[in-house]
Amino acid sequence: MGTFCTVVKFENPQELKRLCHWGLIIALGVIAICSTMAMIDSVLWYWPLHTTGGSVNFIMLINWTVMILYNYFNAMFVGPGFVPLGWKPKNSQDSVYLQYCKVCQAYKAPRSHHCRKCNRCVMKMDHHCPWINNCCGDQNHASFTLFLLLAPLGCIHAAFIFVMTMYTQLYNRLSFGWNTVKIDMSAARRDPLPIIPFGLAAFAATLFALGLALGTTIAVGMLFFIQMKIILRNKTSIESWIEEKAKDRIQYYQLDDDFVFPYDMGSRWKNFKQVFTWSGVPEGDGLDWPVREDCHQYSLTIEQVKKKADKRVRSVRYKVIEDYSGTCCPLNRGIKTFFTSPRTEEPRIRLQKGEFILATRGVRYWLYGGKILDDSVLEGVSRIRGWFPRNCVEKCPCDAETDQAPEGEKKNR
């Protein structure tokens, strides 16, 4: 019940702003269309309310809708939980293992990441979800995942109603005239004639809702399996990416080292219980995490710090040779650049001739990196980072990537 109150009572009116967003409008639109059409089809044509089965079916449809909306709004308004502004580790010596967030003026607690959309450091961040216009993290991981489970189940029920409605209605129609026996058999448990005939508009609306329901089942169902796979290892999407990068780094430098993910509790059931609890509130405070016996409290953050240093070492300095306006798909940079614009929500950056850029990664025609503003390149408060076309820049002859000796990184375990 505690969680329900949080849904109703908004902690601050700003939260209502979350409601004005395209993701939310589309998600609620799909839920509204599928559940309304399923109810209309059941009551009018497929399974009337005065039969026991019909009533049970109708209650189940309402039940799906309520549970889906409950978990959806719970995930949205409870939110992921944010690291308190100005947070420091209890033991100040531990801060060497942590990264510092300049926006939040706080150390990044283990498993937390800064979200640019939420503009806060998010506890056990999984990803920023546009459909709930909020981050998925520690506090709402369970309700978010339940939503991913319930939405496809509700859609399968609705899709069943849609298919059966269309089938029975069209079947009645088609067989009418030359085989009266069949009509009697198929219409036996229904009213002799529905109050409103199943017309072309009803057929079109049902077909449309069926498309939405099947699409949602596949798309959201896949997300559910991906989520469950990582939850059973007590991971987040970001952490599986960090793990991948860690293995990458170990291989790149040929270290005889093995990265062990520190939060795996050893069994799927134990990992599951870390996220799903009866109270709906996850275990722990979102800042301290239980770790495996053979791991350090900060194993993962140490790896992140190493990765960041390594990224610096491996990044390449470029000089801007042509201006770029920062548009997503530039028309004047060649057709290949136009069509291969990275499909991400990450920003593009405006370039001016003569500027310097430190690129950390790239694809064939695009690079991702940050502008070099002054001496405090990587520590600068306002880092400007994003994608830009590769053909606007040229590699600097003097590679300035050597201020951190790669050798040091190699040996330092």
Site string for Zn ion, 12-31 (x = CB under 5 A): --------------------
The answer to the question of residue 128 lying near Zn ion (CB under 5 A) is yes
Say which DSSP state 42 is in: I
Task: Using the minimum distance from each CB to Zn ion, give the nearer residue, 132 or 359.
Answer: 132
Among 16, 59, 62, 103, binds Zn ion (CB under 5 A): 103
Site for Zn ion contains 135 (CB under 5 A): yes
Cβ 142 to Zn ion shortest distance, Å: 18
Q: Which is nearer to Zn ion, 132 or 210 (CB)?
A: 132
Figure out which of the listed residues 31, 38, 121, 158 binds Zn ion, where binding follows CB under 5 A: 121
Closest CB 292 distance from Zn ion, rounded Å: 27
């390594």: which residue's tokens?
Answer: 310
Say if residues 125 and 113 touch (Cβ distance below 8 Å).
yes
Q: Which member of 27, 104, 109, 291 binds Zn ion (CB under 5 A)?
A: 104
Question: CB-wise, 57 or 301, nearer to Zn ion?
Answer: 301
Listed residue (96, 118, 139) closest to 306, CA to CA: 96
114 touching Zn ion, by CB under 5 A? yes
Amino acid occupying residue 139: Q
- When binding is defined by CB under 5 A, the residue of 33, 39, 69, 118 that contacts Zn ion is 118
Among this protein's residues, is 129 annotated catalytic?
yes
Instruction: Give me 59's structure tokens.
Output: 């209650």
DSSP 8-state assignment for residue 376: -
* CB-neighbour burial class of residue 46 (10 A; exposed 0-12, middle 13-18, buried 19+): buried
d(CA 238, CA 337): 28
To Zn ion, the closest distance from the beta carbon of 109 in angstroms equals 10
The answer to whether 98 contacts Zn ion (rule: CB under 5 A) is: no
Which helix (H) or strand (E) covers residue 203, if one does?
helix 200-231
CB atoms within 10 A of CB 250: 15
User: Rounded to a whole number, what is the distance in angstroms from the first to the last CA of the chain?
Assistant: 49
Which residues form the interface with Zn ion (CB under 5 A)?
A: 101, 103-104, 114-115, 117-118, 121, 128, 135
Q: Which residues are catalytic?
A: 129
